[in-house]
């Protein structure tokens, strides 16, 4: 008998061509799940990840979709169902970060940003609510910044605070089908996007602000997600887990 906790499960991870999303996809594959890898721009990296998974004996399907567009999200789920016949796990990872003072944000920037981070999460959650198998798992990626007063990240934090509330509402809506819905809120995490524009000294200072004295690596976040989608977390739902090394 296999000891892989997700053997036979089908997992869809949005924004999984790189960064935290890629780490989550790799970890769930190692635990036995077949993967639907979603990307919008980085096709080469998405197909590279699929090849890595398949070379290790796993199964993967690559699907391009813009989560901010309802038709794309519906197609993403259609292709997942066509390839694998079911969906057991959805990890809502796709999103963008945005750093700008509230007083300087334009209406166009507000609309674009919320379209991706909030509308995108909503559209994926909506399809997940309709299509995830009973007993399934939904995990949304939030941020620790929702509980901090961080200058220049007000819009980003606001979009993720809304994600937290969607998580809580969905947990109650889907509980009768034994589907758990949770959010994971990382702190600073070592990705290309996070490092962009920062000096080594700045990153070290951010790491020292955490109780464990460093920033996260992507596998730190992926391991928390892997726990939440496993049967070990069957009694956890409607929660936002702050995976930040004791930052707050």
Is the CB of residue 184 less than 8 Å from the CB of residue 228? yes
**Nearest residue to 33 via CA among 89, 93, 94:** 89
**28-77 pLDDT, tens digit each:** 999 999 999 999 999 999 999 999 999 999 999 999 999 999 999 999 99
Residue 1: pLDDT band with limits 50, 70, 90: very low
DSSP state of 216: B
Average pLDDT for residues 18-33, to the nearest whole number?
Answer: 98
What is the pLDDT at residue 96?
Answer: 86
Average pLDDT for residues 123-147, to the nearest whole number?
Answer: 97
User: What's the pTM value of the predicted model, to 2 decimals?
Assistant: 0.95
What is the pLDDT at residue 19?
Answer: 95
118 vs 4, 85, 135, 180, CA distance in Å? 33, 28, 25, 20
Query: Pick the catalytic residue: 98, 156, 179, 185?
Result: 156
Q: In the predicted model, what is the mean pLDDT of the chain?
A: 95
Average pLDDT for residues 77-87, to the nearest whole number?
Answer: 98
What is the pLDDT at residue 98?
Answer: 80
**132-143 pLDDT, tens digit each:** 999 999 999 999
Residue 99: pLDDT band with limits 50, 70, 90: confident
- 38 vs 30: CA distance, rounded Å: 18
Residue 197: pLDDT band with limits 50, 70, 90: confident
Is the CB of residue 36 less than 8 Å from the CB of residue 61? yes
Quick check: is 39 catalytic? no
Give the rounded percent of residues in the chain with a pLDDT score beyond 70. Answer: 99
Give residue 87's region: left, alpha or beta (phi > 0; psi -120 to 50): beta
Residues 6 or more apart whose CB falls under 8 angstroms from that of 71 comprise none
Architecture per CATH, 10-189+218-242:
3-Layer(aba) Sandwich (3.40)
What is the pLDDT at residue 2?
Answer: 55
Please state the three-class secondary structure of 100-121 as a single string.
CCHHHCCHHHHHHHHHHHHHHH
Q: What are the extents of the domains in the chain?
A: 10-189+218-242
Average pLDDT for residues 105-127, to the nearest whole number?
Answer: 94
What is the pLDDT at residue 150?
Answer: 87
SS3 5: coil
Tokens of 2: 């296999």
Tokens of 203: 């990153």
- 162 vs 187: CA distance, rounded Å: 17
Count CB atoms within 10 A of the CB of residue 3: 7
Tokens of 178: 């034994």
pLDDT for 169 beyond 90: yes
């Amino acid at each position: 008998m296999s000891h892989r906790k997700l053997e036979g499960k089908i997992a869809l991870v949005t924004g999984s061509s790189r960064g935290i999303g890629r780490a989550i996809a790799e970890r769930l594959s190692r635990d036995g799940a077949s993967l639907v890898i979603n990307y919008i721009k980085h096709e080469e990296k998405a197909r590279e990840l699929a090849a890595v998974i398949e070379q290790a004996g796993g199964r993967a399907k690559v699907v391009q979709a813009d989560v901010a567009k309802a038709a794309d999200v519906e197609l993403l789920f259609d292709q997942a169902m066509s390839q694998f016949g079911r969906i057991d796990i959805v990890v809502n990872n796709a999103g963008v970060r945005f750093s700008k003072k509230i007083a300087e944000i334009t209406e166009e920037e507000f609309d674009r940003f919320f379209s991706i981070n909030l509308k995108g999460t909503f559209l994926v959650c909506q399809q997940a609510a309709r299509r995830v198998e009973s007993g399934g798992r939904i995990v949304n990626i939030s941020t620790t910044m929702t509980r901090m007063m961080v200058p220049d990240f007000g819009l980003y934090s606001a979009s993720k605070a809304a994600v937290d509330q969607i998580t809580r509402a969905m947990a109650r809506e889907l509980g009768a089908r034994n589907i758990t819905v949770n959010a994971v809120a990382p702190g600073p995490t070592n990705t290309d996007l996070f490092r962009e524009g920062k000096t080594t000294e700045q990153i070290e200072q951010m790491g020292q602000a955490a109780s464990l004295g460093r920033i996260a690596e992507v596998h730190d976040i992926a391991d928390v997600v892997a726990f939440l989608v496993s049967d070990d977390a069957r009694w956890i739902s409607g929660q936002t887990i702050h995976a930040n090394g004791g930052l707050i």
